[in-house]
Amino acid sequence: MSNLKELRFYTTPSHDCSYLDERQATTLFLDPEVTVDHALYSQLSNFGFRRSGKHLYRPHCGDCNACIPIRIRADRATPTKSQKRILKRNAHLSCQRHPARYDESHYQLYQRYINSRHGDGDMAPPTPSQYESFLTSSWEFCHLYEFHDGDTLVAVSVTDQLEDGLSAIYTFFDPDLAKSSLGSYCILKQLELCRQLNMPYLYLGYWIKQCKKMSYKGKYRPLELLLDNQWMELR
């Protein structure tokens, strides 16, 4: 296991927060020259770091602690009645795993998703280079899970494998299928994958109580929050 004190980290200049209006944010990045192996990635994920492309980062905003790292106890999670309905509604979908490489069909779906769901956000307008720098990776523990309805690609989950679980990096799906609840379905399937791999956790990134777009993350139980560098179960 790496000694974190020997690693180099850099902070970005202060910038507008992507989630909370009238807030400024600062991000802490691992030195991009550091070789990231499976053990280091897993260790940093346990300390609240996330992946964006080939970079590992976490919020570092001084007196603001709104971004809370969260993970689901996959080994103890049981779907609610509404989640069971989502699983049943999408039971006909097939799932395949691929390396986290650029694929034109993935990008086309991503483009439609961003333009439809997040057209006013900082990821719009999407471009192939932005997509690559955000979601693809040459690390062998980074994967893309494709979900098909017959021959039609309907969703893609970018999912990284850690030593103690899976990290749900990002999911995009066909915006015309809103009634299928594909975002929730992909989280439920990733929980199933954790159990198949005998891994206890599904890391969900950051939860911000004041941000409505992140409210869906609070619907899963048991949920653990990283507070003062300690994982604590939400009661």
Q: Tens of pLDDT along 106-131? A: 999 999 999 998 877 788 899 999 99
Please tell me the distance from the alpha carbon of residue 148 to that of residue 155, in angstroms, as a whole number.
7
CATH number of the domain encompassing residue 101? 3.40.630.30
Contact 102, 136 (CB under 8 A): yes
Could you tell me the pLDDT band of residue 102, with boundaries at 50, 70 and 90? Answer: very high
**Long-range contacts, stretch 115-119, CB < 8 angstroms, 24+ apart:** 116/175, 117/175
Q: Residue 32: is the preceding peptide bond cis (ω within 30°)?
A: no
Contact 163, 39 (CB under 8 A): yes
For residue 146, the enclosing domain spans: 1-235
Backbone φ and ψ for 34, nearest 5 degrees, come out as: -70, 135
Could you tell me the pLDDT band of residue 211, with boundaries at 50, 70 and 90? Answer: confident
Q: Residue 125: is the preceding peptide bond cis (ω within 30°)?
A: yes
Structure tokens at 138: 């040459």
When divided into structural domains, the chain yields a total of 1
CA distances from 181 to 124, 164, 184, 232 (A): 22, 27, 6, 28
| pTM for the full predicted model | 0.95
16 forms beta bridges with 24
